[in-house]
Amino acid sequence: MNMQLPQAFLERMKDMLKEEFPAFLDSYQAPRQFGLRINAKKISPEKFLEISPFHLTPIPWVENGFFYGSEDRPSRHPYYQAGLYYLQEPSAMTPASRLPIAPGEAVLDLCAAPGGKATELGSRLKGQGLLVANDLSSSRAKALMRNLELWGIENSLVTTETPKRLSQAFPEYFHKILIDAPCSGEGMFRKDPDVAKTWEISRPAYFASQQKEIVTRGISMLRPGGMLLYSTCTFSPEENEGVISYILENFPQMELLDIPGYEGFSKGRPAWGNGDLRLEKCVRIFPHHMAGEGHFLALLEKKEEGLCGPAVLKAPALSQTPALSQAPASRRIRKEKDSRPKTASPDRASRALLEDFFREVSLPLDLSRLEIRSGHVYALPGAGPESVKGLKFLRWGLYLGELKKNRFEPGQPLAMALSAGDYPRVLNLTPDDERLQRYLKGETLLLDEEESGPGSGWYLVCVNGYSLGWGKVSGNLLKNKYPAGWRS
């Protein structure tokens, strides 16, 4: 691979790596690695290997991650549309794998789009607790929401807020927080050469300022005893050891923890920060040491109350960057008109329709936790805030479907949260059935007598038992209900 790297970047890396620099430079001639991460919420890695048509090799530092061959096309296989795996660069799988998540916890992915890390955090919650997945960009957050839906995550809140606004809504609320911070992207130059073309020597300082603001807000949302994992995909000391040095200097309640290791991991460099020897607990991923792109990780814990000494420092005032500058929330809320649809609990007629449909569905449904917005029905997570009023959000809970005149029409996110054994009427296709690709294109399907045997009505369409979406059967025809925005 021949690519043009910025000269100022090369000079800084040569100064940082010394005798390792030639090996680092040679790594840019090697082909990039491709990876997929198994959705353990739907299938085990062992089971997936039994049905996989791809050439897979385990990623040794991520238990549910695999390298796949350049000849494979996993994005074109129906298993991808079934949410059985996520396509992700191998090093980028590391942060979520190193943040210990327990079912029932409240977890925040603060900079979550497009969803690579949020989907992994959500699957390890196993449907219990709450995942708040946030991204400031509404367009990126829509991609994030679709990936969470594809993954079958039912207990999520997808927000489009600044870290400042979220911190006002969730003070010391979360057990675990992941901050994969916006950065200068130096670790992605081999994966995406266009990033190298836009790099400038001033970018690390610009992003470091943002990162300090973001981690300050993140720490305020972390409950005592909770853990925060900070990561970037850059080599810049200013954005890595420099930001962790800032945390250690200004937040004595935050303690650096050891990260479960791998032989290819490199230690953080105290000399690249403030000299604090604890910085060695950070992890650096260099492409000349591992089969992946550049990454940085640091795992911190917020000490329990009373363990951080008599005086806890407040964070110093930070210069506001244009991307994070906000008017005070209280004033902004009063000025904004609440344009969201009005919400309500199901009335008697709606409740009867929902009870009739879900009587056949193997999905625990608490009717007291249902919310209806303009006819659209949502199952709210069993754990979480009582209200999300005042927050900008795209999704709160699992979207079940829409109430129309005298009927209920199930939605795509509900389908993705189910499997063949959760619903009585199923059209289960094999990957080589020519109707499968036609279904994913939105076409009507012709069924044989055996397939339409359970009768007319809603059918869950699956590939080898893993759900893809809904269809409605009348006679021997299945009318396609696969969403237009999802079609291939």
Contact 69, 54 (CB under 8 A): yes
First to last CA, the chain: 31
Phi/psi at 179 (nearest 5 deg)?
-120, 95
Measured between alpha carbons, how far is 241 from 282 in angstroms, rounded to an integer?
8
- 49 strand-pairing partners: none
User: What are the DSSP calls for 332-398, one per residue?
Assistant: HHHHS---SPPEE---HHHHHHHHHHHTT--S---GGGEEEETTEEEE--SSS-S--TT--EEEESE
Mark whether 308 is an active-site residue: no
**Which of 464, 470, 482, 465 has the alpha carbon at shortest distance from 53?**
464
Measured between alpha carbons, how far is 97 from 43 in angstroms, rounded to an integer?
17
The one catalytic residue in 183, 233, 282, 462 is 233
The angle that helices 241-250 and 203-221 make with each other, rounded to 10 degrees, is 40
- 134 strand-pairing partners: 159
Contact 237, 211 (CB under 8 A): no
Give the number of C-alpha atoms closer than 13 A to the C-alpha of residue 27, restricted to the C-beta side: 22
**The one-letter amino acid at 231:** S
**The one-letter amino acid at 237:** P
CA 290 to chain centre: 24
User: What are the DSSP calls for 176-230, one per residue?
Assistant: EEEEE-----GGGTTT-HHHHHH--TTHHHHHHHHHHHHHHHHHHHEEEEEEEEE
Active site residues: 233
